[in-house]
Structures are given as structure tokens and as C-alpha cells.
Structure 1
Amino acid sequence: MERLLTLSLRYRFFTFVALLLVTASGLWSLNHLTIDAVPDLTPVQVQILTRSPALGPIEVEQFITFPIETALSGIPGLQEVRSVSRYGLSAVTAIFEEHLDLYFVRQLVNERLTLATERIPAAYGRPMMGPLSTGLGEVYQFTLRGSGHSPMFLRTLLEWDIGRRLRAVPGVVEVNIWGGETKQFQVVVDPGKLLAFNLTLKAVFDALSQNNALAGGGYIEHEREQYLIKGEAMATTIPELGQIVVSHGPGGVPIFVRDVGEVKEGAALRIGAATRMGEGETVIGMVQMLAGANAQQVVERVKERVQEIQATLPPGVVIEPYYDRTLFVSKVINTVRNNLLEGGLLV
């Protein structure tokens, strides 16, 4: 210790420079330190989700979950595989050794998913890896309220506008949506009209699937120029869907979709809803943070983007946050600071 003090006093300039470097390094580390309210104990894991609305739990287990589990077996570093098979949903979780990199294991799982996809019928859905997040990744949650607007309108707005803009924020990997109604164009077929035209329900399905698409036809050369050929048959309105030809009657008279049923705007079948303070149905958005990101910085960016989005929303539509991780972190830090001060005074 005496030798250290002697050297410090002898080389004062170098001692002062070293002190400045250590102080600057400490300040930089303080500003870039990842601070959260609670430690994230989520293991190194990858979740694989497959949606199949037409299958029950037994069929989901047999045709989706089991092939995925079989394909994952033997991956280096794999410790455990868990799965849940529910109506219309398969969730498989692969847990790996702690020392492995999360991006590396996701690459390994993605390679095995190619094999699993070949064993699952295309009509039953396609397995996809879950977002690159953890159990504590839900850092910001809000409701979307709009006086005079339907739950379908609010969900559509959140899904196609607000959600996409929030996903572009650095550190955000996903925006989950709860509540509301998913907008659909529906064709309600009249069985009596089908019999009158001697048609089947399959004929209507085939007509809608084959005539509601885009197709390319190459190009035509004319006077040293190329003219692209494309078929634009994507229906975007109810009248366009109604004008799709199902078949032809006597004399070549076309039979349209509108002739065999009603084309209307409706909502997809759902199994749940979201409410707020007992005031009725609402739509909820939940922002998920990238694994390993700084929660405080990510939430600050999200709040800035929310302010930008709010200025462009239709009149009466309001984004109201009800969970903010930064507020939780601030309260925890204040509690720790007060406890240290009180403990220091008592000692």
C-alpha cells in the first residue's frame, strides 16, 4: 500500500489521467447499463407455434406437435422439449443449455423445422418460431379506444397501421393484439340457389380461390420494347367478389357468386374478448422487447413513436397505456435508493 501511494505521488500526472479514464469508463457504463426491475431467469429457449383452426387437440398433437418434436430430437445442446396441443394451436418449446447463444440455437431449430414442415400437411398450417423475446419481454401495454368506432375498426387499425409502425422501433420484436374482431369478406351461400343452378359448394370454393389472385404472363416484344403482361384478379371490394364467375348456365349465361349467395363484410370466429374497467369491449396492444435489450431505452423509443402515431389517428381514437416498464423500474430504483440511505443513516 505504501509503495502504491509513493508511486501515485511521484507520478501525479499519470495518476490523474488514470483517474479520469476510470471515471469516464464508469460514467459510460452507467449510461449503457441494462437496468430492469427484476432479473430475467428465462432459460435459453425457442418456441415454435403452429396455427391450425380446423383441428382439435388430438389431431393437433398427432399431425403437428409430434412431427415437430421428432424433428427437434438430437439437436446439440438440447435439454428438454415441452409442448402444448390445444384447439387450433400447437406450441412446442425447446430448452437448451445456458452457455449456448440464443441466435445460434434459433438457427439450429430453423434448420430442423424444414424437415418437420415436410411431414405436416400444408392444409394444417406451417410451424413458425416465436419472437426473439423472453418471459419478461412485455414492456409496454396499451388499449386503443375510439368513441363511435367498432371493435372491428379498432383492431384493423391496430393490426395494419399502429402495430406495423411500432414493430419498426429498434428493440421491438413483436406487437401482440388482443380483443376486437378480425375483418373478413364473407360469402354466405344459399343452398336453395345452389340446387337451382345445379352447383356444389366446392364449385364456389374453387371459383373464389382460382379467380381471386394475381398472375404473371411474361412479356410481349414490340418495336424493341418489352410490355409486361399481368393478370389483376385480386378482389378488394364486395362488388368485385360478387362478380366472380362460378359457372355458366344454358346458352353460356355466366353464374356469378352474387347469384348463389350474399357477399358481405363480417368478422372471423373468435374465442375471446378484451374489456377495460367494466366499460365494455376494447382492443389491447402488447409490445414485446428484443431479448437482451435495455428495457428503459426501448420503452422510451416506443413512447416517442406512440406520440407520433397519436397525431395521425382518426378523430376520437386514443392510445391509452396501462403498463409501462420504465415506471416500474423507477419505483424499484427509488426503493433501493431510499433503503440504502436509511440503512446508512442507521449505521
Structure 2
Amino acid sequence: MLGGYLAFTIPVSVLPSTNFPRILIAVDNGVMPIDQMMVTITRPIEEAVNSVPGLEEVRSTTSRGSAEINLFFNWHVDMFTTLQYVNAAIARVQPELPPSTTVVPNRMTFASFPIIGYSLTSDTVPQTQLWELATYDIKPRLNRLNGVSTVLVQGGQEPEFHIEPDPARLLAAGVTVTDILDAIKRTNLIDSPGLFERNHQLILGLVSGQVRTPAEIAAVVVKSTPAGIPVRVGDLGQVVPGVKPVYRIITANGKPAVLLNINRQPDSNTLDVASEVHQTLDEIRKTLPPGIEVKPFYDQSIIVGE
């Protein structure tokens, strides 16, 4: 009787649920040189996590703009608690790291690997639009599904705005590139100007200063001259639409593609998760613009089902 109950309730996957005593810390900081990465990011993080109980070995690999720090623990530690210790150590050292640094720690389990992969390709829709559809439309809907842990978007072209300052104008205005960056950071935010009470109600006000077009970025004031004349970003150069630099080319069936890799939660059932993902993507496919093909390129549930 117990065996029959377990046969229908125990999670099903290719590999068993295992708690490896290992945590991988992924670090990203744009295109910072390796020597600066090691001194300002990798080493401070290594020193911060050395105080985590049960740590036996630290291995790191640093490259231009990124680093991977592997923490190996003894098999007797509780990895859920240990991950909290690691997060606390990273939080303590985060203020000392460069502001643009992104640090993401993850436990290493069999569930860390995708169980399903889908590709988005098109001959008519640009790669920037494919990336936006995958990131802002498809990914949130998949993340809500029961049993889905993470959805990783790869490939495509991420749209952004490029500021191209003119050195002669910078020199004439007495402005540096850092001044331009600081001005945009001060402006590109949502803040509250205050609040007021009326009829026993508290009303909170919000003002958006977010820039959404090249013209809005060009209108940002960097400084004022002694005569009170504002110096704007557009006075120092031009702002043009662009895409984030691409260092890896991702294709599917010989075409540039955006990939969606879906990971399951450690205790979830691969067959159930895969069924929900396929059903949801079938629904999403009907709402996409014409000319977009959504096809699976990897499905672990087929192996499990067999």
C-alpha cells in the first residue's frame, strides 16, 4: 500500500535529488580588466566567505568582467542554512565592491541544469524584439508555473541607448564622462515629492524621472554655467539607439535565436513541470507576432517518460 502511494507521489526526474556541498558564486561587472577584477571583486568575496562554517575549499576563475567562485563544504552541513551564511557574507562585502557589480550565489544540485529548452527564431522580427518578448512576456509567465525554479534567457540583442560624447565639447564645457553618468543616475529614477492628508486619507505622490527615449536623455542637465545656462547631455554629444555588445552568437537551426532554458525546483516532478511548460508555450505561441517560430530543442521529460 505504501509502495503504491509513493509510486504516484514521489518526484520523478532523470537524476535523484542530491544536496551537493557546493555553492557557486557568479559575478559580473561588464568588461572590467582581469587584474582589477581580481583585486577589487574576487579577492574581497573570497575573504568574506572564508568565515562561513563548514567551508573546506575555495576555487575561483576570473576573466574579463566576470568571475566564478566555487565554495566546497563538508558533507555534514545543512546547505539551506549555509546558503544563508554565504548571502550574509556577500551582503557585508557588497558595499566595498564596484557599484556595477552583480553577485549571484547558487546551490549546486541536479536541478541547477535545465530540463526544457525552447528557441525563438524569425526571418522578419528583429532580434531586439525577440529578446524583449522572451524577457518581458514569456519569461514571467513561465516563472509563475508550479515547479519552475528559474527561466534563463540567452541570445538575441538587448536594446539600450548609447551616449557618444564629443571630446572637444567636453573640454569646452569643463565636463567629464563621469559627470554625464552621475547626471543620468540622479535623473533616471522614481521618487516621492511628499505626501498629504485629506479627509482622513494619506495620499502618497510619486514623480517619475525615468528616461525612455534618446531625446529625453539628451535633455538631461549635466551642470549649469556661472551665468545659469544649463549644459545638457545633447550639448556634449549625441544619443543614439543601440544594442548591448554581443560576445557570443547563439543560433537554432542555422538562424540567430533567443533561447529559453527552464529549470525545475529540486523537489518537483519533471513530467508535471514539462507538461505545464509545453501547455503554456502553446498558448503563448498563438499570441506572438506573425513570423516567430517557437520550437523545443531539449526536453528532459522525454527521457524520464521512457
Q: If the TM-score is normalised by the length of the shorter chain, which range does it land in? A: 0.7 to 0.9
Which protein has the larger Cα radius of gyration, Structure 1 or Structure 2? Answer: 1
Counterpart position of 2:97: 121
Counterpart position of 2:281: 306
2:114 to 115, 133, 138: 138
Tell me, in whole angstroms, the C-alpha distance in 2 between the residues paired with 1:201 and 1:75: 40
Counterpart position of 2:260: 285
1:73 to 28, 34, 50: 50
Tell me, in whole angstroms, the C-alpha distance in 2 between the residues paired with 1:326 and 1:60: 40
Q: Deviations over 1:291-320 (max 9, x none)?
A: 233222221222122122222222222321
Shift of 1:243: 1.9
Counterpart position of 1:296: 271
SS of corresponding position for 1:35: coil
Q: Deviations over 1:19-46 (max 9, x none)?
A: xxx2xx3332111233333456772322
Counterpart position of 1:62: 39
TM-score, normalised to structure 1, is 0.78
Opposite residue 201 of structure 1, the aligned amino acid is: V
Quick check: 2:155–2:250 contact (8 Å CA) kept in 1?
yes
Counterpart position of 2:221: 245
Quick check: 1:133–1:173 contact (8 Å CA) kept in 2?
no
Shift of 1:116: 2.9
Tell me, in whole angstroms, the C-alpha distance in 1 between the residues paired with 2:226 and 2:112: 65
Q: Does 1:326 align with 2:297?
A: no
1:190 to 166, 170, 185: 166
TM-score, normalised to structure 2, is 0.87
Q: Does 1:31 align with 2:8?
A: yes
Opposite residue 273 of structure 1, the aligned amino acid is: I
Shift of 1:195: 4.3
Counterpart position of 1:208: 184
Opposite residue 44 of structure 1, the aligned amino acid is: P
Change (3 A) 1:28 1:114: same
Q: Does 1:93 align with 2:70?
A: yes
More strand by share: 2
1:171 to 147, 157, 160: 147
Q: Does 1:52 align with 2:29?
A: yes
1:84 to 54, 61, 76: 61
Quick check: 2:121–2:252 contact (8 Å CA) kept in 1?
no
Range that drifts further, 25-34 or 179-188: 25-34
Quick check: 2:17–2:267 contact (8 Å CA) kept in 1?
no
Change (3 A) 1:297 1:102: farther
Shift of 1:124: 5.3
Tell me, in whole angstroms, the C-alpha distance in 2 between the residues paired with 1:327 and 1:55: 42
Q: Deviations over 1:246-269 (max 9, x none)?
A: 344586444432233222211112
Query: After superposition, where does 1:246-285 map in structure 2 within 5 Å?
Result: 246-248=222-224, 252-277=228-253, 279-285=254-260
The count of residues paired between Structure 1 and Structure 2 equals: 306
More helix by share: 1
Q: Does 1:316 align with 2:297?
A: no
Give the root-mean-square deviation of aligned CA atoms: 2.7
Long gaps (5+) in structure 1: 1-21, 332-347
Opposite residue 128 of structure 2, the aligned amino acid is: M
SS of corresponding position for 1:315: coil
Quick check: 1:215–1:232 contact (8 Å CA) kept in 2?
yes
Long gaps (5+) in structure 2: none
Quick check: 2:58–2:71 contact (8 Å CA) kept in 1?
yes
Tell me, in whole angstroms, the C-alpha distance in 2 between the residues paired with 1:185 and 1:214: 19
Tell me, in whole angstroms, the C-alpha distance in 2 between the residues paired with 1:227 and 1:102: 45
Higher relative contact order (CA 8 A, sep 6+): 2
SS of corresponding position for 1:130: strand
Opposite residue 258 of structure 2, the aligned amino acid is: V
